[in-house]
Amino acid sequence: MPSTLIRQGRIVTAVDDYIADILVKDGRIVTIGETLTVGEDTQVIDAQGLLVLPGGVDCHTHMDNTFGASTTCDSYESGTRSAAFGGTTTIVDFAFQRHGTSVLEAIENTRAKGEEGACIDYGFHVIVTSVEEQTLADMQHAIRHEGVSSFKMFMAYPGSVMVDDAAIFKAMRLVGQHGGMIALHAENGTIIELLIQEALAQGHTAPKYHALTRPAIMEGEATHRGIKLAELAEAPVYFVHLSAKEALKHVVEARDMGIPVFAETCPHYLFFDDSAYDSEDFDVARYVMSPPLRSKESQNALWTALRTDDLQLVSTDHCPFCMKEGHLGRVNQKPFGRNDFSKIPNGVPGVETRMSTLFDGGVRKGRISLNRFVELTSTAPAKLFGMFPRKGTIAVGSDADIVLFDPDAQHTISAATQHGNTDFTLFEGYSVTGKIRKVMLRGEWLVDEGQWLGKPGGGRFVARGESGGW
């Protein structure tokens, strides 16, 4: 592997901001300094005027995941290629413990998909759908021997993936003792199911009723309950895709008490609100995700929480389904629920737009600092899920996962110019300032001024250390 010198870029980490040269060799950062001298066999990249950022870490994506009758439209190849164009070099995706399979089988099956198709580095959380004695033993083994230290459990979707409080508590207690962490999808599933059935019985079938049957107060209730279970189990807990001020309130209170509670939000909750549902049109299906978009008041509260570290990171919950049935051969996509909102696959794309939209709408608008931007998109996820300092920063010895970012370049977001399989983006037509120029993964260029240089299977599995210990 040839050496590369990135010269005179503005290096930004979660704590640093300075101009220097970076020498990359054998996939790692080996030297950082001023006016480094290199041989003729070293590739030299002029980074003057560009931000040099650590590759993004997105710890919540769904590549080739099947939920009910629908499978997300991005494969590991297409989804990770899209992530790379968006400045993300590592994802933490999901292995699914389906009924009748073990946690370890789920990891093995999903690793095979990653090894074949992933263009960037990847790790896994395991979605746990049943908790037996063997499940607990397998979770312990996964933490200690498989490099998988986080497990997702659902408080929603009864009859499919929802587990009860006792199962959550047992899992928390076990993984907390062994350096793992439970991630919770916090919504009150049984109440939501009741509201869904009542809405359908009244003839309310349009996509807008997805949001109306998943009220914010039920996210708040489940979040509070999840915190109390974690407190009793003496274990850390992580809340995925937090959307509502009613849920955020409980996270803030718990953290103020010193309870190890962590949470993420997603770009769609930061840039869109529940006014998107003010229509009976089926096009509203593009905004069907769980939890749904919330009030403008909640949106403002999320931005404040990102600034104050009450929310620790921004992930995408990249869970893409197409608006057009049959797009690229994909079936049972959003139109699957045309006559019944409860059958619309829940999820939106976002892995390619996270970095640029958060920079434009966060840093440029003064909502977060540049250092905080790096922390939210790279450093904090790497620390929280056991990948730091190999991932998540620019430092001697770290993987050479590097993004060259032009803070002044403008571009317009469109599904037509993105690189995944989804046929829409929530940010269609948005003009943003801040553009990714080059992306490097372990010393090799993946993206060069819009040109794709990566390859399927070029990503590596990242065996993670303890989760929740940060």
User: Is pLDDT above 90 for 374?
Assistant: yes
In this predicted model, what pLDDT tens digit does every residue of 390-403 receive, in sequence order? 999 999 999 999 99
- The CA-based angle 363-367-369, given to 5 degrees, is 50
Top CATH class, 58-378: alpha beta
> Which two three-digit tokens encode residue 236?
């850390």
User: Which residues lie across from 161 on neighbouring strands?
Assistant: none
CA dihedral 444, 79, 362, 264 (to 10 degrees): -110
Dihedral angle sign, alpha carbons of residues 49, 51, 52, 55: negative
Distances 325 to 210, 304, 330 between C-alpha atoms, Å: 20, 39, 7
**In this predicted structure, what is the pLDDT of residue 470?**
58
SS3 445: strand
In this predicted model, what pLDDT tens digit does every residue of 211-229 receive, in sequence order? 999 999 999 999 999 999 9
In this predicted model, what pLDDT tens digit does every residue of 420-456 receive, in sequence order? 999 999 999 999 999 999 999 999 999 999 999 999 9
- Using DSSP bridges, classify how beta strands 237-239 and 181-185 pair: parallel, antiparallel or unpaired: parallel
**In this predicted structure, what is the pLDDT of residue 100?**
87
User: Is pLDDT above 90 for 468?
Assistant: no
| Mean pLDDT over the full length of the chain | 97
User: Is pLDDT above 70 for 299?
Assistant: yes
Q: Distance (Å, rounded) from C-alpha 250 to C-alpha 229?
A: 13
Backbone angles phi, psi at 25, to 5 degrees: -145, 135
SS3 354: helix
In this predicted model, what pLDDT tens digit does every residue of 233-279 receive, in sequence order? 999 999 999 999 999 999 999 999 999 999 999 999 999 999 999 99
| Burial environment of residue 195 by CB neighbours within 10 A (0 to 12, 13 to 18, 19 or more) | middle
SS3 127: strand
**In this predicted structure, what is the pLDDT of residue 469?**
74
Domain residue spans of the chain: 58-378
DSSP 8-state symbol, 268: H
* Radius of gyration of the CA atoms of the chain, in A: 21
